Amino acid sequence: DGGITQSPKYLFRKEGQNVTLSCEQNLNHDAMYWYRQDPGQGLRLIYYSQIVNDFQKGDIAEGYSVSREKKESFPLTVTSAQKNPTAFYLCASSTHREVSDGYTFGSGTRLTVV
């Protein structure tokens, strides 16, 4: 079955360390996205990518970096420059259609800085 997989489900990081969150999809979707969700809050867009080797900053890109070397993969690196990285991170993908049929979301990664 096709889907989008995020790993790991839980991640702990020491202050000052970079950490990379994985996102893989086998839906043959062109576009992929990273969102951050804080407790009781909505979704805030970090980065998005329309095609391989191209990506754009979202609303809260500072302290994060991404790559899109393969269509199936869109890893997110949370760098030490991100001052408040503890949050729930969601990856999503979609077809590149004029009329959206919605995003497919992964099950999320909960990052905690210790």
Partner 1 sequence: GQQLNQSPQSMFIQEGEDVSMNCTSSSIFNTWLWYKQDPGEGPVLLIALYKAGELTSNGRLTAQFGITRKDSFLNISASIPSDVGIYFCAGQLPNPSGSARQLTFGSGTQLTVLP
Task: Report the residue number, 63 or 108, with the smaller CB distance to partner 1.
Answer: 108
Of 2, 14, 15, 42, the residue at the interface with partner 1 (CB under 8 A) is 42
> Footprint of partner 1 on residues 78-107 (CB under 8 A)?
88, 90, 92, 94, 96, 98-107
User: Residue 43, interface with partner 1 (CB under 8 A)?
Assistant: yes
Using rule CB under 8 A, residue 2 touches partner 1: no
Q: Which of residues 59-78 bind partner 1 (CB under 8 A)?
A: 59
Q: For strand 43-49 and strand 87-94, is the pairing parallel, antiparallel, or unpaired?
A: unpaired
Cβ–Cβ < 8 Å for 91, 30: no
Does 28 bind partner 1 (CB under 8 A)? Our answer is: no
Place of tokens 């969150």: 21
Give the pair of three-digit tokens for residue 49: 């990518």
Query: Within a 10 A sphere around the Cβ of 19, how many other Cβ atoms?
Result: 18
User: Any residues with CB less than 8 A from the CB of 75 and at least 6 apart, and which?
Assistant: 20, 21, 22, 23, 66, 67
| Residues in contact with partner 1 by the rule CB under 8 A | 6, 30-31, 33, 40-43, 45, 48-50, 56, 58-59, 88, 90, 92, 94, 96, 98-108, 110
